[in-house]
Amino acid sequence: MAFGAGEVVHVVLVEWAESAGADTAEQASARSTEKLTSIDGVLSVTSGPNIGDEDLQGGFDWMLAVHFRDKAALDGYLPDPQHVEVATFLQESAARIVVFDVAA
């Protein structure tokens, strides 16, 4: 995927809590796609479990990457009710979350 100048990628890594259901990752992906793609400035949403064989995921089970037009779009996304709804679901289902934002 090619990125334009000023674009930003918001990466979320999640380790599910032991109490999380078997379908939690599927629910998280569906909610993320449904809710986050409509937010102004979001260019794409990608999520899912690790499919690599390197065994270097550090205990994380699932990843979300949101690609933004620019830093201002990321700043507007954070308080957006659609994002807050997804973030709340993730926080309630996770044992651990790491968030990293990088200029693309």
| Percentage of the chain lying above the pLDDT 90 cut | 88
Indicate the domain borders of the chain: 8-103
pLDDT at 4 over 80: no
CATH class, domain 8-103, is alpha beta
pLDDT tens-place string over residues 8-20? 999 999 999 999 9
Q: Look up the pTM and report it.
A: 0.92
The one-letter code for the residue type at 33 is T
Residue among 88, 67, 70 nearest 79 (CA)? 88
Strand 8-16 versus strand 62-68 pairing type: antiparallel
pLDDT tens-place string over residues 53-69? 898 999 999 999 999 99
CB of 13 within 8 A of CB of 28?
no
Q: What is the pLDDT of residue 94?
A: 98
Distance in angstroms (rounded) separating the CA atoms of residues 11 and 99:
6
Q: What is the pLDDT of residue 1?
A: 56
Which of the four pLDDT bands, split at 50, 70 and 90, describes residue 2? low
Structure tokens given for 80? 């957006």
Give the count of beta carbons closer than 10 Å to the beta carbon of residue 65.
Answer: 18
Average pLDDT of span 80-102: 98
CB of 77 within 8 A of CB of 68?
yes
- Residue 86 φ/ψ region, left for φ over 0, alpha for ψ in the -120 to 50 degree band, beta for the rest: alpha
pLDDT tens-place string over residues 16-44? 999 999 999 999 999 999 999 999 999 99
Looking up tokens 């990608």 gives 46
